[in-house]
Amino acid sequence: MEEKIDLSEKTIDVSEAEKRLQDEDIEKAECDEIEIVEDITDEEIAEDTEDEKEVASEGPFKSVFGKKEKKEKKDKKDEKIAELTDKLMRQMAEFENFRKRSEREKAQMFEIGAKDVVEKILPVLDNFERGFTTLLDEDKETPFVQGMDKVYKQMVSVFDSMGVIPIESVGKEFDPNFHNAVMHIEDENLGENIVAEEFQKGYKYRDSVIRHSMVKVAN
């Protein structure tokens, strides 16, 4: 009679053995991992932490740098605007000075031209006055003399409207700015440096003298 062998229990024992071997491998692997982790130094952990922080903070830093770059562009734009504004103001000031200088020069040129014309006409006015002083009383009523008198008065009126006026001399104190003394006399009835007589009438145009008066002055 053959002996039967029951392999079920053996099979169970083999399975349990394999399971134990797997558990032992897992425990060994875990122990190895723990040992590897323990071998990592604090410095390496710190480096890893810094790297993680750097990676994590890349976005915010990038945003800050973007804002800084934008601010720098804005500052350069404001500086350029200020520079152009200053340049414009300077050019406007220079143009205003040029305009005033041009107007002043034009006024001076007009004044010089007017003085030159008046100076050339004054001898004609002098001749009218000399002619009237030589007339007899009966000749003053003639139509010719009256016509010449009207022309003379018209010239005087035109000069007056232009600002050309005669310089007062007789009875006034001598002023070298307006008078040209060609003779001196001793006269007790007149004060010192008083104009006694006028030989040629002087004229001034506005504030400038066209011709000085030729006078006789009492000492």
Structural domains in the chain, sorted by start? 165-219 (2.30.22.10)
How many Å apart are CA 29 and CA 49, to the nearest integer? Answer: 26
The pLDDT of residue 136: 86
Q: Per-residue pLDDT tens for 153-177?
A: 999 999 999 889 999 999 899 999 9
How many Å apart are CA 131 and CA 114, to the nearest integer? Answer: 26
Q: How far is CA 58 from CA 50, 163, 174, in A?
A: 12, 86, 96
Q: Which two tokens stand for residue 38?
A: 């323990």
pLDDT-derived band of residue 208, with 50, 70 and 90 as boundaries? confident
pLDDT-derived band of residue 39, with 50, 70 and 90 as boundaries? very low
Mean pLDDT of 129-144: 88
Q: Per-residue pLDDT tens for 44-87?
A: 555 555 555 554 455 554 455 566 666 677 778 888 888 899 99
Residues in contact with 84: Cβ distance below 8 Å, sequence separation at least 6, in sequence order: none
| Bridge partner residues of 194 (DSSP) | 173, 218
- E strand or H helix that includes residue 86: helix 58-133
